[in-house]
Amino acid sequence: MMKDDNVGKILFGWTSFIRKFVLRVLRVGPIPSHIAVIMDGNRRYAKKKKLDEGAGHDAGAFALLCLLVNCYELGVKYLSAYAFSIDNFRRKPNEVQKIMDLLRESITLLTRIAKHLPVRVHFAGNLALLSADLRDAALRLMEATAGYSKFVFTICVCYTYSDEIIHAVQESCQEKCNHIQEIRGIDACGHQDENLIKLADIEKHMYMAIAPDPDILIRTGDEYRLSNYLLWQTSCTQLSSLSTLWPEFSIWHLVWVVLNFQLNNPYLEKKKMQL
C-alpha cells in the first residue's frame, strides 16, 4: 500500500513537471490573453462511460477546473466558459437541477480557491433567471473577488448572445433617456431625431464587457457552431472545433489549440488592427 502511494506520488510529480515544462515552452511564443470554451459532450461522455448523466456534468466541471489551472500557469488572463445557456432550460428538469446544484458547488469551491489564487470570478448572463439563493451566492463571490485582476474567470450562465444584445440595447436606451431628461427636461424625451445610441454605448452594457474579445474560442464535441455564444465578440477570434468530448479535454488539447493560435496570430493581429 505504501509502495503504491510512493509510486503514485512520483508519477504525479513527473506529470506535474512535464505539464509545467510544456507550458513554459509554449510561453516562448505569443500567449492568448482570453480563451473561451463551449463545453460540449458531457452527456455523450456519460453515455460512453455508462454513467449517470449527472456524472458527465461532474466530469465536465473537473475538466474546467483543470483548464483554469493550466490557463493560469500558461499566463492567460481571461477564461470564459459557457456553463448554461438560456436554451438549456428546455432540458429535463432533473438535468437542469443537477447543473444548478453543480453551479452551487462550484461557487463554494471557487470561493476556497480564491483564498489561494488571485482569481476574479464573474458571472455573465441574465442572472435574474437563477433562483434567488444561487443568484445571491454568485453575487457574493463576484463581490469577494472583485479586487483581483491577475486572472478573470467568467462563467456564462443563463446566457445567450440574443439576450445579451437586447439587454445591452435596453440599458443603452435607459441611459440615454435619463440623460435627455436631465439635460433637456422630461418633455424633451419624446422629440429626438438624432441617433443618440452609439456602438460604444451598446458595448459597455454587454454582459461580457469585463473581458476583451477572446483570442480563441474552443468548442468540443465535434460540433461546428457557436450556439448563440459570444457572437459579437468573436470577429477576430480563432474558432477551434475539437472532436474530443469536454470531460476528456486535457492539457494536450490546450497545447494543440495554443500552437495553432501562435501560427495564426500574425494574421489575426492584422485583422484586429484593421478594426
Partner 1 sequence: MDFKKETRMLYRWIARIGNLLLRLLWHLLHVIINLCHFTLGIANALESHLISWGILGRYKSLHVAKLRYLAIVVESEEAYQISNIIELLQWLAAVGIKYVCLYDREGILKKSKDFILEKLDGAILFKEAHENNVLLDQTHMTLEFASFSDGKETMAKAANVLFKKYLKSGATDKIQEEQIFTESQMAEALKTVGSGGPEPDLLLIYGPARCHLGFPAWRLRYTEIVHMGSLKSMKYGLLIKAIYRFTTVRQNYGS
Task: Spot the catalytic one: 5, 40, 133, 222.
Answer: 40
d(CA 121, CA 157): 13
Q: Which residue has the cell 505539464?
A: 19
Closest separation in Å from C-beta 200 to partner 1? 9
Instruction: Mark whether 40 is an active-site residue.
Output: yes
Would strands 216-219 and 119-124 be described as parallel, antiparallel, or unpaired?
unpaired
183 phi and psi angles, rounded to 5 deg: -85, -45
Residue nearer to partner 1 on the CB measure, 171 or 248: 171
Q: Which CB, 210 or 226, lies closer to partner 1?
A: 226
Residues that bind partner 1 (CB under 8 A): 24-26, 28-29, 85-88, 90-91, 160-162, 165-167, 169-170, 172-174, 176-177, 181, 189-193, 195-199, 202, 223-228, 231-232, 234-241, 255-256, 259-260, 262-264, 267-268, 271, 274
Nearer to partner 1, 137 or 168 (CB): 168
The residue among 108 and 260 lying less far from partner 1, judged by its C-beta, is: 260
- Classify residue 243 by its DSSP letter: S
Supply the minimum distance, in Å, between the C-beta of residue 150 and partner 1.
23
CB 172 to partner 1: min, Å: 6
Cell numbers standing for residue 269: 493581429
**Pairing state between β 78-85 and 238-241:** unpaired
Closest distance of CB 266 from partner 1, Å: 9
Contacts by 89-96, CB closer than 8 A, 24 or more apart = 89/129, 95/53, 95/54
CA atoms of 37 and 240, how far apart (whole Å): 9
Q: How far is the CB of 153 from partner 1 (least distance, A)?
A: 23
- Which residue from 228, 226, 225, 230 is spatially nearest to 209, judged by alpha carbons? 230
Cβ atoms of 84 and 106 closer than 8 Å:
no
The span from the CA of 116 to the CA of 104, in Å, is 20
Q: Which residues are catalytic?
A: 40
